[in-house]
A = this chain, B = another copy of it.
Amino acid sequence: MNDSVQQKNKCKIVVDAMGGDYAPHNAVEGAILAAKANPNIDLFLVGHKEKILEVLKEKNLQFDINKLIHSTQVIEMGDAAATSLKTKPDSSIVVGCQYVKDKKADAFVSAGNTGAMMTASTLIMGRIPGVGRPTIGAEFPSTRGFCYLYDVGAGKDAKPQHLYEYAVMGVIYAKEMHGIIKPSVGLLSMGEEESKGNEVTLAAYRLLRDSELNFIGNVEGRDILNGPADVVICDGFVGNIILKFGESVPKLLKYLLQQTAKQSLLDKLKIGFSKGVLRKSLKSMDYQEHGGVPLLGVNGISIIGHGSSSSKAIKNMVSKAYHMFEHQLVKKIENSLKNNQNK
């Protein structure tokens, strides 16, 4: 009895063994580490059988060979997202997404081609009823802890309804995964007044204001790092640009410090002395640290990782997939958008 209950709660996670710059090594190792740490994870690996077996042998890792899903193709980092799904139907990404679609798994995790992963997840798993467009968020450090920005690149030319959906999904994620009680939502715009914005944000403002969300109105660019909203909403074009701008700040700082050091030996010494403490302080600006991000709004759990993912990053991605499963994120998004849709 107890055993069957446990069985029921197990989360079936497929990990793309071929995904990422250091595949299959990091992917296989990270996935097995995650499963080892959490007995409720039922792990599957998808990819070229021989290559996976080699890694298992080389690293002396234990893995049930019946849970190895053989696929013959790999979508490379440079492949075009849309066409690769058709030209590589037996790729690890397509097969992994299909497993979730067929309810043979709850989640798929990959550090492979981001575009292909987004497209495959959306087209194969399908969207949650009520979701017009799935979204990817980013976690920014902020003077109040963290700020979650949606969307950072899943979609461009968003419609007002899409921005509203991003807010609903982002709030559920912040609440369930980060324990924020009633996440506040800000709409990214050119000024705080309701009248400020472009055509799309002006219409989205009305949708958000009339919703059940804890909407605090428009916020400005400065409010991401230093403002009142837990969740900030923008279209994927703006979000992608801000994310990459933010990622480039540490590099500029390093350059500016080097320039200062060149001017004076004392300054050079001071900078050398405080290098470690600076690096430590800036760590939260290194978004790569966080492991993968979920594509919210697809009908299943899809976690997308950086190509350069380490074993540890893969492990974190698998754990994230498990927590999304545990918190029933997909079900909650569906319920929330069903309830709010026509308000």
Contact = CB atoms under 8 A, between A and B. Distances in A.
Tell me what chain A mostly uses at the interface: helix, strand, loop, or mixed: helix
A251 B226 contact: yes
B248 A222 contact: yes
Given A244-B220, A245-B245, A284 B267 contact: no
Contacts of A260: 277, 280-281
Interface string A261-284: 000000100110110111011101
Given A156-B190, A257-B281, A221 B198 contact: no
Contact of A221 (B141, B245, B284): B245
A230 to B, nearest CB: 16
A236 interface: yes
A327 to B, nearest CB: 28
A256 B281 contact: yes
A293 interface: no
Contact of A226 (B156, B242, B248): B248
Given A190-B236, A270-B277, 17 more contacts: A143-B251, A143-B255, A157-B198, A157-B199, A189-B241, A198-B237, A220-B244, A222-B244, A226-B251, A226-B255, A234-B241, A237-B238, A242-B245, A245-B245, A267-B280, A270-B273, A273-B273
Interface of A: 141-143, 153, 156-157, 188-190, 197-199, 201, 220-226, 234, 236-238, 240-249, 251-253, 255-257, 259-260, 267, 270-271, 273-274, 276-278, 280-282, 284-285
